[in-house]
A and B are shown apart, each in its own frame.
Chain A
Amino acid sequence: MAVPIQHKSPAARAVQAWFNPLKRSAGFLAFVLMRITGIGLVVYLLIHMVVIGNLLRGPAGWDSLIQTMKSPWVLALDVVLIAGILIHMLNGLRVTIIGLGFGTQSHKGIFWTLMAVAVLLLAYSAWLVFTK
């Protein structure tokens, strides 16, 4: 009998699948979104901690920094951040609830409902960011 060769699909290809919801169902899309927003938010947390360190430079340093933060491009990034937070937060609640064995049969409906809520909250937040 021929010895089967341990031929595994390359690890890189398997890791790519974490970020590819094509041909998959809503739960997988939720998993992909959770992973992308999660990584993004960790990166943001680290950047945020460095940026607020500028407060140590006193009023002059901080207030000039805030002026650059008011450019429309940075405000647009703020909206991206809020989108990430909303998706991750609402999805996280869903994962917690179904992760405890509740509502698993309707997890797709819960997902789309929460994402609709996320879109509404995002629209409201974007309006606040650009007008207030």
Chain B
Amino acid sequence: MTNNGFFGPKKTITLKVLRYKPGAIDPPRYDTFRVEANAVTTVLDALEEIKATQDSSLLYRHSCHPASCGTCGMRVNGREQLGCVARLLEQGSDVVVVEPLASAPLIADLVVDMTPFAERFAPAGMRLVRESEFNPEAETPVGVETFTRYEDCIECNICLSACPVANTNPAFIGPAGLAAAYRALVTGERSPAEVFAYVDHDDGVWRCHSAMECSAVCPSNVDPGHKIMALRRELVTYKVKRFFKRG
């Protein structure tokens, strides 16, 4: 943990962390821990200190620390954030509640099963790794600067947790998957017919009620809500054109 007076005075913060171990801590409960935090202490810093000095059985996922891997998504005081960049003193209270992401099956403590997320994301046709990353001479597509690069998605699952619909309807493709489908459409990675077959149903692009919370919580500026709306415009245009052609 950062221990530097430069980052301002330290303050004691109480963390209420959701705990769950199948068969052992079941039903889930909240455990309380106290940590010293300064201006730059993150929630992930605090969890690491708790694991090192207070309770080694605490489980959470993390990898990189600078918000580029998307592994440490969690709900901090009821709002989805990446633990590695969520500063403890900026959460607006001395008691900070830390919970796993919603709309994903809970495995233990703060660890959720990411499989449902991957299932909605991969079939949309977005490559998880960019081809150009292996090709230094690759040319950037024309107009790339005009749209938010979908490749910015770090697959953190935060958008799904914040979506009011994904939380009640597990069949809903959800923000990341729909945004990926839109991206596959505009890059030409997939044909319109393929993309529309994937999203044009009651659990697809029509299920979104434009709460736009996915875009509000996205830590990587993918703006999935905007992509879903744009995808819907493409689909409506396609349907209207087809309707008048037929008539």
Contact = CB atoms under 8 A, between A and B. Distances in A.
Contacts of A5: 22, 26, 105-107
Contact of A18 (B113, B168, B215): B168
A8 B168 contact: no
A2 B229 contact: no
A25 B149 CA distance: 23
A32 to B, nearest CB: 8
A23 interface: yes
Interface in A88-110: 95, 98-102, 104-105, 107
B206 to A, nearest CB: 10
Contact of A6 (B103, B105, B209, B216): B105
A25 B167 contact: no
A93 to B, nearest CB: 12
Contacts of B215: 27
B77 A23 contact: yes
A71 to B, nearest CB: 37
A9 B233 contact: no
A8 B211 contact: no
A11 B233 CA distance: 31
A105 B223 CA distance: 9
A35 B162 CA distance: 17
Would you call the interface of chain B mostly helix, strand, loop, or mixed? mixed
Contacts of A23: 77-79
B225 interface: yes
B80 to A, nearest CB: 10
B54 interface: no
Nearest to A35: B209
A105 B22 contact: no
B211 A104 contact: no
Contacts of B77: 23
A25 B213 contact: yes
A102 B233 CA distance: 9
B167 A17 contact: yes
A17 to B, nearest CB: 6
A17 B233 CA distance: 28
A22 B164 CA distance: 13
Nearest to B234: A101
Given A5-B22, A25-B212, A27-B212, A14 B167 contact: yes
Contacts of A34: 209
A89 to B, nearest CB: 16
Contacts of A35: 209
A66 interface: no
A24 interface: yes
Nearest to A8: B105
Contact of B225 (A6, A22, A27, A100): A27
Interface in A9-34: 9, 11, 14-15, 17-18, 22-25, 27-28, 30-31, 34
A22 B162 CA distance: 12
Given A5-B26, A25-B213, A104-B230, 19 more contacts: A4-B22, A5-B22, A5-B107, A7-B105, A11-B168, A14-B103, A23-B78, A23-B79, A24-B79, A24-B211, A25-B212, A27-B225, A28-B213, A31-B211, A31-B213, A98-B210, A100-B232, A104-B225, A104-B226
